Structure 1
Amino acid sequence: MTERAKLAQDFHNQGYNCAQAVACAYCDLAGLDRETAYKMAEGFGFGMGCMEMCGALSGAFMLAGMKNSAGLDQPGTTKGQTYKVTKMLKEKFEQKNGAYLCRDLKGVADGNVRRSCPGCIEDACELIEEYLTK
């Protein structure tokens, strides 16, 4: 586990949700300050608050968008590429864990817990760190 992944785990242990933990551990690499990353990611924990997309993966998606987007200078010009990146991150995460929805990862319907929140954070960190540092 990398130092930033350990930092994300520490943030989670301090009460950050999964999305906040990932977003805050890498925020400087994406041009964000930690307070902004924390606030931005708050609604994405617990699978966007309703056990949908994994919060840790959502945090990684936010970071990918921050790295890839051309911003308001060139509206719409980079979203297609960003969607490709998020799709790749989702596919790699799903291959690793057998799911990408929080409720499936936690085994809500079938009792089969595929990955813990700390495990999801570790996996999302591995994927986004690879993308942010290449």
Structure 2
Amino acid sequence: MDREALAARALELHGCNCNCAQSVACSLAPFVGADEDVCFHAAEGFGAGMGGLTETCGALSGGIMILGFAMSNGIDEPTNKAATYRLVRQLLERFREQNGSTTCADLKGATTGTPLRSCNGCIEDALAITADLLEEHHLATCST
């Protein structure tokens, strides 16, 4: 995966009024065989920390969605949840270690007045960590 191109695409989407979740999910969709438009629609409500409530960072939600696409066996054989949850925990732990929190409010400094990370920075970090996990676990279905 060309990390610079991925980050540029995600930030371009964010600059065109996509939320953080959409920016991450749509940028990584081709690498897990997911439809970008489906990811766009599915991630609509996850922006600004889950519907604007500043809870879990939207960029992380987009990464979690991509890990689900990569790991799920589908509705007829839902047996991969435990493995998916392990990868999701790795994403969250790495992001928290790097940025100090996984909560939009904390990251934006809503309660302290001191932001930990910008939205663009969160997008870049969630994208990079998710891409790392896809590569580490040989889950990417294509590369460009």
Instruction: Using structure 1 for the length normalisation, give the TM-score.
Output: 0.95
CA RMSD of aligned residues (A): 1.0
Runs of 4+ in 1 over 2 A off after TM superposition: none
Distance in 1 (CA, whole Å) between partners of 2:68 and 2:39 is 13
Distance in 1 (CA, whole Å) between partners of 2:7 and 2:131 is 9
Residue in 1 that maps onto 2:141: none
Q: Which moved more, 1:94-103 or 1:26-35?
A: 26-35
Following superposition, the deviation at residue 63 of structure 1 comes to 0.2
Following superposition, the deviation at residue 48 of structure 1 comes to 0.6
Distance in 2 (CA, whole Å) between partners of 1:16 and 1:84 is 28
Residue in 1 that maps onto 2:13: 11
Superimposed CA distance per residue, residues 52-109 of structure 1 (whole angstroms, 9 cap, x where no aligned partner): 000000000000011011112312x100111111111000000000010000101111
1:68 aligns to 2:71 (yes or no)? yes
Instruction: Among all aligned residue pairs of Structure 1 and Structure 2, give the percentage whose two residues are the same amino acid.
Output: 44
1:57 aligns to 2:60 (yes or no)? yes
Name the SS of the counterpart of 1:71 in structure 2: coil
Q: Gaps (5+ residues) in structure 2?
A: 137-144
Flag the structure with higher helix content: 1
Following superposition, the deviation at residue 121 of structure 1 comes to 0.2
Name the SS of the counterpart of 1:2 in structure 2: helix
Alignment of 1:1-134 (within 5 A): 2-49=4-51, 50-75=53-78, 77-134=79-136
For 1:24, the aligned partner's letter is C
Distance in 2 (CA, whole Å) between partners of 1:133 and 1:84 is 15
Name the SS of the counterpart of 1:7 in structure 2: helix
Name the SS of the counterpart of 1:66 in structure 2: helix
For 2:25, the aligned partner's letter is A
